[in-house]
């Protein structure tokens, strides 16, 4: 019996013994002063000139949409100064119209001068007739004063003559006023016709001047594609071109910029004074420095698209002869990741203290079993 009792006691002591709970170890915290890694933001855009001027085919007044013949065009890529001749069109039709307008203007000018002289002569004649009528009236009034000395018939004759002379004077006053107004109106009509013809003459002369195109700014010439011979291509001398089309553009190659569209997630990289490097797709080995000059404060998106973009302009700090408008370029911005949120630090897990149970002196301490748990060895 003693060996059996010893075995049972050993089993009971083993079942009542509870192992110490495991302690969770937290990951080592990241130091706050660790430098954040850098990242690159790559933006696609096109090269544009800061100062440029687009030359259009001139719109001729009075033209019904006819084509203009190009007679002279400066070569593509030429450097020009302000005021230099760059293109001319055939002015034959406009010169013929200017000669006709000049002839009509001269004829109307002579008519105006002739009408003015005729009005002055007619006014002088009417004034002479009016003075003669006044003299006849004065003479008739003098004859009336002889009434007591004359017979009744002669007195009645003199009264009738005086009445006729007074009526003639009043009639001349009214008719002279109306004749003056009529002559003035006729002269004014001719003057208006002459002035209108003068405007036509000035417009034809202005059309001739428009056919000679000069450079508005100093820079380099770049030909534009125009519709010619049922195809698109650079204009050439002798082509029939229509008004309103872009003929060429003049840009200043010393001041260039990159116009690009930045995605909304990369908008935080567009800070004032941001430095960037520009690479041209046509010249991969060419690297140019640039800085942010302007960025739109509001993002916009295309119709029906949920993606929004910011418009930005990067000014090139260095010029290069390879730079031309409309070249595709890539703007690379190197920014740090310090703006990213830092993950929260994980605190180490501390085990909960275990409540001790008072045991009688000389007994073995037993671990407390949580509520609802089955003590080990209790299962049958």
Q: Could you read off the pLDDT of 281-293 as tens digits, one per residue?
A: 889 899 999 998 8
- Topology at the third CATH level for domain 38-50+252-336: Elongation Factor Tu (Ef-tu); domain 3 (2.40.30)
Residue-level pLDDT, tens digit, the chain, 380 residues: 566 666 666 665 555 555 555 555 544 544 444 445 567 888 899 999 999 999 999 988 876 567 889 999 999 989 999 999 999 999 998 999 999 999 999 999 999 999 999 999 999 998 988 888 888 888 888 887 876 777 778 878 888 888 888 888 898 889 889 999 999 999 999 999 999 999 999 999 999 999 999 999 999 999 988 887 778 888 888 888 888 888 999 999 889 999 998 887 777 778 777 889 999 988 989 999 999 888 888 878 777 778 788 889 999 998 888 888 889 999 998 876 433 443 444 444 444 544 444 444 444 444 444 444 444 444 43
Q: Which two tokens stand for residue 51?
A: 């100062």
Residue extents of the structural domains in the chain: 38-50+252-336, 53-90+211-250, 94-210
Q: Which two tokens stand for residue 172?
A: 């001349």
pTM surpassing 0.75? no
What pLDDT does residue 372 have?
45
CATH of domain 53-90+211-250: 2.40.50.100
Domain 94-210 class, CATH top level = mainly alpha
CA–CA distance, 155 with 143 (Å, rounded to integer) = 8
Contact 54, 249 (CB under 8 A): yes
CA dihedral 342, 344, 345, 351 (to 10 degrees): -170
């Amino acid at each position: 019996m003693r060996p059996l009792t010893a075995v049972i006691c050993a089993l009971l002591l083993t079942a009542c013994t509870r192992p110490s709970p495991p302690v969770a170890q937290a990951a080592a915290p990241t130091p706050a002063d660790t430098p954040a890694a850098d990242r690159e933001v790559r933006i696609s855009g096109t090269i544009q000139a800061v100062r440029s001027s687009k030359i259009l085919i001139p719109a001729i007044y009075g033209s019904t949409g006819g084509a203009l013949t190009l007679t002279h065009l400066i070569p593509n890529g030429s450097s020009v100064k302000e005021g230099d001749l760059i293109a001319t069109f055939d002015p034959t039709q406009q010169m013929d119209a200017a000669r006709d307008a000049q002839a009509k203007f001269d004829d109307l000018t002579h008519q105006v001068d002739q009408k003015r002289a005729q009005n002055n002569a007619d006014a002088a004649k009417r004034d002479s007739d009016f003075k003669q009528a006044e003299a006849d009236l004065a003479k008739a009034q003098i004859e009336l004063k002889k009434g007591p000395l004359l017979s009744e018939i002669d007195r009645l004759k003199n009264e009738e003559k005086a009445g006729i002379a007074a009526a003639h004077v009043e009639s001349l006053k009214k008719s002279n006023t109306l004749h003056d107004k009529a002559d003035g109106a006729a002269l004014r009509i001719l003057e208006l016709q002459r002035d209108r013809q003068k405007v036509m003459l000035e417009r034809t002369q202005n059309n001739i001047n428009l056919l000679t195109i000069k450079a508005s700014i100093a820079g380099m010439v770049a030909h534009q594609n125009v519709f010619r011979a049922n195809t698109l291509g650079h204009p050439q001398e002798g082509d029939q071109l229509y008004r309103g089309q872009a003929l060429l553009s003049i840009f200043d190659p010393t001041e260039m910029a990159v116009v690009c569209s930045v995605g909304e997630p990369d908008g935080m990289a567009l800070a004032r004074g941001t430095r960037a490097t520009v690479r041209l797709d046509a010249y991969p080995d060419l690297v140019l420095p640039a800085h942010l000059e302007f960025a739109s404060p509001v993002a916009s998106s295309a119709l029906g698209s949920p993606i929004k973009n910011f418009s930005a302009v990067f000014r090139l700090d260095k010029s290069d002869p390879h730079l031309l408008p409309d070249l595709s370029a890539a703007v690379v911005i190197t920014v740090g990741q310090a703006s990213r949120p830092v993950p929260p630090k994980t605190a180490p897990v501390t085990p909960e203290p275990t409540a001790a149970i008072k045991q009688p002196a000389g007994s073995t301490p037993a671990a407390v079993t949580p509520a609802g748990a089955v003590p080990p060895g209790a299962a049958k």
